[in-house]
Amino acid sequence: MGEDTQCPTCEREDFASKRGLKIHHKTAHGVSLKPRVECEQCGDEFMVKPRRKDTARFCSNECQRAFFDENHRKTVSCDWCGEEYEVKAAEADNTRFCSRNCLSRSRKEGFTGKTNPRWKGGFRTVSCEVCGEEYEVRAAKKAQTRFCSYECKGIKYQEERRGKGNPRWKGGFFDIASRVRSLLGGTDWDRLAPQVRESECECCGAVATEDDRAHHVHHIVPILAGGTNEEWNLMTLCPECHRRVEEFTKTFVDRVLVEFVSDESI
């Protein structure tokens, strides 16, 4: 055998491999043959694998963190309050403040007015188009503002956005709408509906209770197809039945209106 398989304590050489030698030394002499190195932080010796003999430095993660905290940190001064604080050595050149509070206070003082990167000229004085009073706005919004308050805006819009000036203008009343309104009569629907509403649905027989939604009053012939608010054209339906009936009848509204328009134009 060779020196690699010779026991350093009892000088026994009849081992078939290094593993056998290690097992013998641990069993017979109570000491492991793994190499030992000294921890750079606490000074204690610890065993490592042979391949880590030249690279191992610390016996535990705690010693490693403590070592780096002591040797890889720098003390710098806060630009705002002047107090000293510790940071990682790699971040020493990039840090300026000891806390977010100091950072925000510094920015509040240093980025006010013209020193702010978003500065756009400050405030401008303009006059309200309605009341004529002067008020201040930011320079960036000078070309967009017209009124000093929502009240003045409402007054102006009531004048400007009537009839064709309204962005939702769709042509005003047309002949069909006028004819339909003349057939409905002068009774308000909110007063008429409770007078003709029954307690049972005329389609499924459901009875309305206090906990349920009130039954609906349905127009058999739709209003836009020439129907009226007379009793012969009204029936009581529960919300579910009303929904199904409307889905069925609405397909005929446009066709009847087209015929109505063509008859009136002759």
CATH of domain 175-265: 1.10.30
pLDDT over threshold 60, residue 199: yes
Residue-wise pLDDT tens digits, 228-248: 888 888 999 998 999 999 888
Model confidence band, residue 258 (pLDDT cutoffs 50, 70, 90): very low
The amino acid at 83:
E
* Residue with more model confidence, 211 or 61: 61
Give 63-82 pLDDT, tens digit per residue: 988 888 777 788 899 999 99
- Among the residues of 72-149, which ranges form H helices? 100-110
DSSP per residue over 26-86, as a string?
HHHHS---S-EEE-TTT--EEE--GGGTTT---SSHHHHHHHHHHHSEEEEE-TTT--EEE
Task: State how far Cα 238 lies from the chain centre.
Answer: 40
Q: Would you say the pTM of this structure is higher than 0.75?
A: no
CATH 1.10.30, the chain: domain bounds: 175-265
Q: Is the pLDDT of residue 37 over 70?
A: yes
Q: Mean pLDDT, to the nearest integer, of 126-139?
A: 91
First-to-final CA distance of the chain: 125
Grade residue 180 by pLDDT with cuts at 50, 70 and 90.
Answer: low
Confidence of residue 24 (pLDDT cuts 50, 70, 90): confident
The band of 127, judged by pLDDT with boundaries at 50, 70 and 90, is very high
Q: How far apart are CA 234 and CA 239, in angstroms?
A: 15
pLDDT in tens, 44-58: 988 888 788 888 888
Whether the CA torsion 104, 106, 112, 117 is positive or negative: it is negative
Instruction: Determine how many CB atoms are found less than 10 A away from the CB of residue 103.
Output: 15
Nearest to 74 by CA among 88, 60, 57, 56: 88
Burial class (CB in 10 A: 0-12, 13-18, 19+), 189: exposed
The alpha carbon dihedral of 83, 88, 91, 92 has a sign of positive
| Contact between residue 36 and residue 48 where contact means Cβ atoms under 8 Å apart | yes
